[in-house]
């Protein structure tokens, strides 16, 4: 069974109604991103950061996986599918995908500020005074700007075994995630699905200039028919 590795980003979730990370002016709900997604922002105003992610968590409960998420589940009928996502939502899992690696953390999890390996499932609001067993404040289990990406090495090892690589919903301009595609074996075909692609088709890369729910469904149908 061939290994298909999928690199997914905000574009696949946007079609479900999840807000993408920044507006055109670089702000999200009026906040500079560093106020709500950096260790410095957390140090300056924990209440603001918690409120920001509480709103994200509440919104995530109101949306559902879309046709693009469901297409990747269908692909598992004939392929071994590993999804490496930059998204912090759980829409891949809710759709039914069995192998999902979250590069940037998960919105429905929190972790201890005393022990970063102490991670808890958390579906409701997280407030000041919500402590771990070590009597330390819990924080969102999200990788902020300036923090290490702990799942990166695992993601690299997955990409290195790819027989096919699909990039969807991400421009692959954000590092370190953008480096991942370069770890695929030399002759691995790459499919890049984006309505406004930042790269051109080549011998190795096929660009599908469609939104995720159209381009991914089309590609999956083709791959299943050819296998």
How far, in Å, CA of 107 to CA of 120, rounded? 11
- Rounded to 10°, the helix 67-75/212-226 angle is 20
Decide: residue 51, CB within 10 A, 0-12 exposed, 13-18 middle, 19+ buried: middle
Tokens 């693009």 sit on residue: 68
CB atoms within 10 A of CB 102: 23
List all residues 6 or more positions away from 22 whose beta carbon is below 8 Å from its beta carbon: 28, 33
CB atoms within 10 A of CB 199: 14
What DSSP character marks residue 46?
H
| Residues noted as catalytic | 104
């Amino acid at each position: 069974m061939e290994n298909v590795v999928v690199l997914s980003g905000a574009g696949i979730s946007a079609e479900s109604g999840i807000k993408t990370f920044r507006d055109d002016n670089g702000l999200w709900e009026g906040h500079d991103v560093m106020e709500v997604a950096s260790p410095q922002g957390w140090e300056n105003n924990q209440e603001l950061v918690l409120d920001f992610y509480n709103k994200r968590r509440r919104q995530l409960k109101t949306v559902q996986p879309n046709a693009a998420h469901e297409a990747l589940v269908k692909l598992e009928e004939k392929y071994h599918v590993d999804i490496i996502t930059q998204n912090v939502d759980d829409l891949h899992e809710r759709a039914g995908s069995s192998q999902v690696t979250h590069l940037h953390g998960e919105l429905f999890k929190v972790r201890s500020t005393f022990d970063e390996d102490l991670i808890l499932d958390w579906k409701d609001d997280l407030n000041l005074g919500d402590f771990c067993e070590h009597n330390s404040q819990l924080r969102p289990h999200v990788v902020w700007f300036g923090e290490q990406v702990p799942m990166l090495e695992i993601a690299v090892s997955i990409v290195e075994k790819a027989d096919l690589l699909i990039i969807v919903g991400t421009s692959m301009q954000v590092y370190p995630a953008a480096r991942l595609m370069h770890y695929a074996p030399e002759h691995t075909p790459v499919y890049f699905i984006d309505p406004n692609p930042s790269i051109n088709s080549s011998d190795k890369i096929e660009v599908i200039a469609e939104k995720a729910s159209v381009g991914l469904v089309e590609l999956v149908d083709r791959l299943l028919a050819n296998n």
